[in-house]
Structures are given as C-alpha cells and as structure tokens.
Amino acid sequence: MKSFKIKNWFIALLVLGLVSCDNEDFFELTNPPEAPWQSLEELEKAPIGAYYTLSGNGGFRVIFSAERIAGEAYADGINLANTEFGFPVDVDTEDMYNRAIEGTSIGLFDNAVFRNCYFAIGHANGALDFIAANDGVPFPEEGPDATHRIEGELRFVRALAYFYLARIYCPAYPDDTPRLPFRTNQATNFDEAKSSAIASANDIYDFVVADLIEAKRLLPERYDASIHPEAYADGRANKFAAAALLAKVYFQMGLYDEALAEANFVIEENGGDYDLSEEPIEAFNKTGPVRGKEVIWYYALWAGDGLGGSSNWKHPRRFAWYNASRERAGGLEDNGSRFMVCSDAFLEAAGWQNPDGTESADAANDLRYQQLFIRVPADEDPRFEPTRDYVWNDKYYRAGDRLTNLPILRLADIVLLRAFLRADAGDNAGARADLNMVRNRAGLGDYDGSDADLINAIHNERFKEMAFEGDRFWYLQGARVDIPAGDRDGGAIPWDSPLYSEIPDFEVELNDGF
Amino acid sequence: MSKSKVSSSIVGGSLLSALTSGGEQYFRGYFGRLNYKFMDRYMIGASYHYDGSSIFTEDFRWGNFLALSAGWVVSDEPFLVNNEVINFLKFRGSFGQTGNSAISQQATATTYAQWGRYGDTGAGDLLSSIANTAVTWETTDAYDVGADFELFEGRVSGTVSYYVQDVRDMLFQVPIPQSSGIFNSNPTIWDNIGDMQNRGWEIELNTVNIDRGDFQWKMGINFATNENQVTRLSGEEAEIYNVNSNALVTREGDQVGFFRLARYAGIHPEGGYELIEEMDLEQFEATGERVPTGNLIPATRSNLQTHLFDNTDKGSLPTFFGGFNNSFTYKNFSLSALISFSGGNYIYDVARENSVYVNGAKPYREEIVGNYWQNPGDDAEFPALNWNQRYDVINEDGTIDENVRFDPRRAGQAHDKFLQKGDFIRVRALSFFYNLPRGVAESLRMQNIRLGFTGNNLFTITGYEGYGPEVVNLGEAADRNLGQVWAGVQLPQLKSYNFSLNVTF
C-alpha cells in the first residue's frame, strides 16, 4: 500500500514537470497591455496629453501662473502691497521680492513648474520614442509625413517645458554647472526610472534649440480643416509658435542674430495671420477656440472637464495674486488673494504716475493702462484699507468665470523683441518702426527721442507692454541689462545675479543621477 | 511493523481572476504534499508549490515554494502516557516558503491614463506607470520551532514558539524621481527591493483558575515579540526615504522605517524661536555619520533640511504586543474582560505639530495659550507666535538676521519634539451578561432571556498624547505600511457601550 502511493506520487511529479514545460500559452492575456497608439487617431491623444500636463493636476499648479511670479518678483515692476493694510503675502514671493533666495528651493515652483514640466517632458519623450522606434513612420498606410505635426507639437511642448525649467532652476545662460535632471527618452526599466542624467543650462538650451528647430520644420503654418483634426484649431502650436519661442530662446542665450532671423520669420512671413490691428485688450478676453489677432499661441482654458467650464477647479488660480480679479472674474471685491501690485518705479517709468504718487495726465492716452490696469484710490479699495493709491494689473480672467484662454506668445512681444535686436545691431530705423508699431497700437504717437535713447525707449515700451506677463526679469537677463531695484532700497543688481531656485530636495533624494 | 500512515496528494490548479480594474490575470499552481505519521506520535510532512502568474513576465513567471514540517507528540511516549501532570506535549518545527505576487497589474507594463483633456477635445494620454519587466515573486522563508502543551487535566494549556521570517526579494513600490515623468506627485515603480528578517517569540497560555460548582474563572494570555531588520537593499547606499511624505527611513542593516529627525533643544530665551542640536556637517560630508557638535542652532528652514539625526532605535513597528483575557461565570452571570497591549514603536504626532505654529486660519491647540514665549528671558514651551514662523535670529556675535523662515520645507524635515512612544495598554472589551432564571423566562413563554452590556475601548493607559496610539493612516498601501506612524488628524479607536436584551422563543 505504502509503496504504491509513493510510486503514484512520483509519477504525478513527473507529469507535473512535463506539463509545466508547455505553460506559456496559458498566461497569454486576452487583452494584453499594448502601446497606447495603435492608429494615427490614437496618436492624436499624445499631444493633447502633453499640453494638458502643463496645467498639471490642480489650479494652483499651472506652470504659466507660477512661473510668471518669478519673472515679476525678482524684477522691478511690482511691489508687495502693505500687509498692514490687510493684504496677504506669500512667503516664497516675499523671499523672491527681497532677492534673498540664494541656496534655497522655492516651494512655489516645486509643485508647479518642476513637477508639471517633467510630466510634460516624460510624456512627450514616450510618444517621441514611439515615433522614432518606427523610423518616424509608425503608420505607413497614412503616408510618410502623417505624424510630422504631432511630432512637432510634442517637441514644442518638450522644449517649452525645458525652457521654463532652465529659467527657474538654472543660473542665467551661459552656465555649464550640471544642475537639472535631463531626460531625452522615457525610462524603460527600473534603473533608468531611478536615475536621470544631470545637465547644465548650456546642455538644456542646446536641446531646446534643437527641438524647436525640428518643431518649426515639422509644424504646419496654420490649421487647415481639410487635413487636420478639429482639435488642432484650438490652442495648438504651429510653425510660427515654434519660431516665436525659438526667437525668445535665442535671445535668452544672447544669440541675437539667430533670434532676429526667427523674429523676422514670425513677423514677415505669417501671411497676415497675426498683426497688431486690434486694441490691447483683445489678446486677453477670448474664450472658445478663438484668439486675438496678435496671439500666436494661447493655452486653451475654456473647455474640457479639466479646463474651463463652471465646475472647473483646475483653472489657474495663482494669477489672483497679481491680478485685480480672481478666477471667477468677480473684480476687486471678490479677490482677497491679491498682493503683487504695480511698483511706483514701474508706474513712473511708464509715465502713468507722477512722482508725488498721483495719476499722470498721460495715463489716459495709453490704451494698455486704460484697458489692462485698475487704479484704486486710497481708502476706496472694496476689500482692504490702503491709505495710498494702488494700481492693479487686470490682464487675467477677462472673458469671465474660469474660461479665459491664456495668451503665451503674442506678436507685440516678438515685435518689441525685434526692435531691441535691430537697435542692438545698429538698425535704428527698423527698430523705430517696430517700436512705433506697438506704440501706435496702444494709442501713442511715434517715438520722438534720440537714437541714443532708443534702446532704453524699447526697454521701457516693453516694460509697459509685457507687464505682469512674467517677462521683465527674463527680458533684462536676455538683454544683459542689470536689474533695477524698483521700489526696493539700494541699487540695481547684475543681470546674472543668482536668482534661481535650488532643485527640489524630493528630486535630489530620489534621483540616483545626483 | 507498527501502525503507520502515509497520505499524499498532487494538485494542479489554474485560476483566472478578474480584477476590479477590469484587467485579467492568470494563475497556475502545482501542489504536491506528503504527510507521514508514524505510531501517531512522529509526524513529518513536506509540500511543494510551483506557481506561475501572468502578473510577471515570462522569464520571471514561476516560483518554487517548499515546506517541511516535523512533530513529536512526546506525551504519547510510554514514559509519559498517563502522566498526571502532563496530558499533552508536542514539539514541532517547520520550514515553509510562501510566495507573494500581489502587485499592480501595471507593474510590468508602461501604461497611460486617458483623461487629460485640453480644449474641447477628447481625452489625451497621461503617463501613469513605467514598466519594470524584471520583477518576480517575493518569497518568505518561515522557520518556526515550538511546543504545544496541556497540563493538569486541561487546566493549563498553551504554546511557546520562536519564529524567524526571511523575506526575500521584497516587492515594493519604490519612489522614483519626479523627473521620471510619471503623472503623479509621488511616482513609484514596482521592484524587488531587498530582503528583510522578522524574528521573535510567540507565547500563549490558557488556564482554568477556578472551576468549582457554579463558579468558573478562565484566563488567557498571549504575548509576542518582533525584531525587524532590513538585511539587504538593492543599490549602493540605498535608502527608502521620501522626505515629501514623512521622516521615515528604511535602509540596509536597520529596522524598517526608523525616524530621521532634527533634535529639538528648547526655545531661545532671548529670541523666542526654537533651537535644535547642530550636526557636524563636515564629518557628515566626509563619512556620512550624523553626529552632534554639542552646539545649539536655530531651527530655521535651512537648518531643518540638513541637521537631521538617524534614530535607528526608534522605529514605526511595535516590538511586542499581546493580550490578556479573563472570564468569570457564576450561576447566571458571566463577565469577561479583554486587555490588549502593544509597544516598542514610536509615533510622530503630526496633528499636534500642525496646530501649534501660527501660519493660517485653522484650529490651534489650547495648550499654547499662556505657554508661548513673550518676553526675553521666558522659559517657554512654545515659541513666540510669529505669523508664518518668521523670526529675527540672534547670531553669536550679537548681530541679527531679520525675518528668517522657520517653517519646514518638507513634511519630513522636522524636529523630534512631537515624536513619542506608541506604547499602550487598553481595555479592549468588557462584557457582562445575565441570564434570567429559566422559570421567569418560561412564565413569559420564552426559552431564554439574556441581559447584557458590552463596552469597547473603555480605558487606555498610554504616554502618547495624540488622538490615539493605535493609528490608522488611509491612503496608498506603501504609505500605510511604513507611514502610518506619521499621524495626522484621524479617527481614534472608538469607545462604545452596547446594552443588549436577547430573547429566545
């Protein structure tokens, strides 16, 4: 009996061994995980996701509203409203305004710029790897260039993300200190996921330029309903967006000739798509798949379950710190969060305020001041109790409650950039023409100053035109002009002062590349 | 030949399980078992599992799991049969391997979510996981030796055993850097991260103290110890430490989840701000050792980032726990009480930390009233109530740095003022029942009427000052395992009183 059972046991074991050799079929899944892009239609979801990641995962984390705080707070165009009047203050912004951030990491950007830019980069890398793995033609049946636009958009978003990261987290260009995690491909295993290479500002800028050159080559000039999906008409990058961003990147790098060429391309070859024929407000008050005539690229915020619509909690909310209204567009009375106000230095430079603090007579002539700023006399603030006048920016949320598209690249920016580049290259007539184009659009007459003052006049015009769009600090860096004190005590600081955030420790701790 | 018995079985089984995520998963297992019992007092057994799961990729699919056991019923030996004291005595020992494959189906695949809407379009893709195709089974080798006994005609019974569990190739969602690109603020990837050992004693004793007439008193005690050590962690100088979430560190050679914290050193009597012990940063740079210099420094945001000490003796897991149960019956009355205890672990009272510094419109602790620094020379429990924790720091040379930030940069960059022992002893349950005399019940045409009272968690003795020493932290599984002693505001174990009336017809 016993020996019989043991024999059985061993036979069974033998059978087991034999059966187990041929097991793999059993584990085949009916619905195995597959690459998410099985068709061109599915690949269209890749750029949509890439754009989405820039707004991140919450209303306080949209990169555009956070990054602009740096562009203003380090520079001279803003002041912090006095807390003794009841205004709030953000401690990170206060540190930035005090220019006391050396060696610290600014939490304000960790959740917004750092996270979201890497979301965008990681996502774009995956889709670009997929296209590259198929030699650029993942769907041959659709034609050899069917994915060009998609690839161009992915490169555009990746370049934008790296550009924002480099500005916030790296010393001014040029700098060859390795600092930023640098991923050009998606991780494919544990070790790659755990470790990102570390790159310098120089490396990052070179990569951004390469991406944008390629994006410019691949992207179409404009939406064409006969060949593009309808979604491409709304807030998506085209050839001119890539060129405009490339012009700004070159400018930031001090490569003025290259920047000038891109600016020329945008201004002169856009086929009439973009001009300054509309009043300044028209860039800022659009909702739906609609843009102001000068807007080269806007970030769509008007629709979708993550963006836009009355239930939309992800609409960018950080603008409320430096705007008259908060996201519900309810005006001064509704916004208890505001505290970044026009500096007196800015208002006086703009000619909108007299040295005694009163409104100047010229202010009434400037459409920008009339349409995009609000002056609140002392003791008349509906919410706080200031004993002095304050002038608040009013560029955001201008199309209503949580549905205003955000212009990121607009023609006035590129025209004024070209004005500087032309003047710097000695083309004063060209520079004057560009400067006047922007002045005339704002209701002002031509510049009548001397050539010697021309560059300063261009700087000043840009100060007014781009105020509260987070431009000032980066512009002065790009122009290699020292950063004035604004309303602070003391003098100007060098343009390449160490005003950048440390890399978040949560990244340093976990990234084996460090 | 004396009596003997052999039993054996071979089982081959397959399992298809559909997960709630809508995915599919296939599991195939082969199982063999051999038990041999000789003279009803010598036992040996062996079993073998060969298991495969579709959750792993082909090269890592199968796991081998062996189990061996032996037992000796000493009390059946001729020299102990009919022993008046020892009614039953068995020595036993076992070795058993078990496998764990309970990981996300996304672990071995790079996957995308599809809800990232931009504009008025359909959803876009969002990267939600990066594949690690090299993960495989986690295996636990469990060794256990012990004895079961029954003495004095069943009046005393129990078990004593010692266990060692070697967990190999632990499956864990390893935090990975944000730059990996996964659309998650705390991205992770599954991996077999290393090995860990748990060992300790388990003792259980049940006694019938009195059993006389109508009165019976029974008692039960159980007690267990656990010592935990991470024996291997893959990667050079590898640590699991996510400063974004908490101050817990797991690394090779130490227990799972010990606390890395600054050392609180009181309030600066002239400046009114908190002080911590200084760490020798040069020595740390050179050797990696975290040792104090003996100086006190302000607990500024930047100092809290660097002057952190490893409390390897203060961990998150209890090192002992158990219970004590007594029950009494007398005629129609019965009374029982269960007392449980646990200790050896530490808890960081985040809820308290969050409610004693003034930095927002929120509830504050009453304990700060009258106990905060107000005037130079004050020996205070809490720092001056400065909005947003900004203080003017007095330097050694008498100069002052104005408006310095003291708010910690990360959740895990904190000092140990709010770290406390988690030891407790608690009256877990107390119940009292009374059966009405049968005559009374029958006169009401009922079989039985029972009145009762049960109270749960009536009384706790603990030095822990937070909401409760038994902390429950919801959220990600990995955080629950390691981070549940990072205790925010939470529902403590509820105290409850139940009165009952049971009627049987």
At B235 the pLDDT is 76
Assigned domain for B367 exists: no
Q: Which residues of A touch B178 (CB under 8 A)?
A: 114-115, 118, 181, 504, 506-507, 510
Q: Which residues of A touch B174 (CB under 8 A)?
A: 190, 194
Q: Are B337 and B440 found together in one domain?
A: yes
At B388 the pLDDT is 81
- For residue A113, give the nearest of A51, A181, A50, A65 by alpha carbon: A65
High-pLDDT (> 70) share of chain A, %: 94
Shortest Cα–Cα distance, B437 to chain A (Å)? 58
At B2 the pLDDT is 40
Q: Which residues of B touch A109 (CB under 8 A)?
A: none
Q: Are B488 and B347 found together in one domain?
A: yes
Q: Are B182 and B239 found together in one domain?
A: no
Assigned domain for B100 exists: yes
Q: Which residues of B touch A506 (CB under 8 A)?
A: 178, 242-244, 410
Please give the Cα distance from A109 to A97 (Å, whole number).
15
Domain around B341 = 200-254+314-357+409-505
Q: Are B123 and B232 found together in one domain?
A: no
Assigned domain for B368 exists: no
Say yes or no: B130 contacts chain A, CB-CB below 8 A. Answer: yes
- For A13, the closest of B32, B111, B133 (CB atoms) is B32
Q: Are B415 and B392 found together in one domain?
A: no
CB contact under 8 Å between B241 and A509, yes or no, is yes
At B485 the pLDDT is 79
Number of independent structural domains in chain B: 3
- For A183, the closest of B52, B181, B242 (CB atoms) is B181
Mean pLDDT of A12-29: 66
Question: Position A128: which residue type?
Answer: L
ipTM of the complex in this document: 0.89
Question: Position B173: which residue type?
Answer: Q
Say yes or no: A95 contacts chain B, CB-CB below 8 A. Answer: yes
Nearest residue of chain A to residue B240 (CA atoms):
A510
**Residue ranges of A 414-443 with Cβ closer than 8 A to chain B:** none
pLDDT at A226 over 70: yes
**Residue ranges of A 277-336 with Cβ closer than 8 A to chain B:** 289, 300, 302-307
Q: Are B64 and B210 found together in one domain?
A: no
Assigned domain for B362 exists: no
Assigned domain for B490 exists: yes
Q: Are B56 and B159 found together in one domain?
A: yes
At B477 the pLDDT is 46
- For residue A376, give the nearest of A401, A359, A398, A397 by alpha carbon: A359
At B291 the pLDDT is 96
Taking the mean position of all CA atoms in its chain, how far away is CA B378?
A: 41
- For A52, the closest of B8, B118, B407 (CB atoms) is B118
Q: Are B35 and B143 found together in one domain?
A: yes
Assigned domain for B296 exists: yes
Assigned domain for B494 exists: yes
- For residue B467, give the nearest of B503, B428, B494, B498 by alpha carbon: B494
Q: Are B224 and B292 found together in one domain?
A: no
Q: Which two tokens stand for residue B406?
A: 């003291």
CB A49 within 8 A of CB B119: no
Q: Are B43 and B123 found together in one domain?
A: yes
Assigned domain for B365 exists: no
pLDDT band at A303 (very low <50, low <70, confident <90, very high): confident
Provide the 3-class DSSP secondary structure of residue A489: coil
CB contact under 8 Å between B127 and A122, yes or no, is yes
Mean pLDDT of A420-443: 98
- For B178, the closest of A27, A118, A187 (CB atoms) is A118
Q: Which long-range contacts (CB under 8 A, 24 or more apart) does A217-223 make?
A: A217/A152, A218/A148, A218/A149, A218/A151, A218/A152, A218/A155, A219/A148, A219/A149, A219/A152, A219/A153, A219/A156, A220/A149, A221/A270, A221/A271, A221/A273, A222/A271, A222/A273
Please give the Cα distance from A123 to A129 (Å, whole number).
10
Residues lower than pLDDT 70 in chain B: 1-23, 471-483
- For A189, the closest of B50, B132, B179 (CB atoms) is B132
pLDDT band at A30 (very low <50, low <70, confident <90, very high): confident
**Residue range B391-432, pLDDT digits in tens:** 999 998 999 998 898 999 888 999 999 999 999 999 999 999
- For A52, the closest of B8, B124, B130 (CB atoms) is B124
Q: Are B347 and B424 found together in one domain?
A: yes
Q: Are B213 and B352 found together in one domain?
A: yes
Shortest Cα–Cα distance, B192 to chain A (Å)? 10
Q: Which of B17, B62, B118, B136 to mutate to test the interface with A (most CBs of A within 10 A)?
A: B118
At A19 the pLDDT is 56
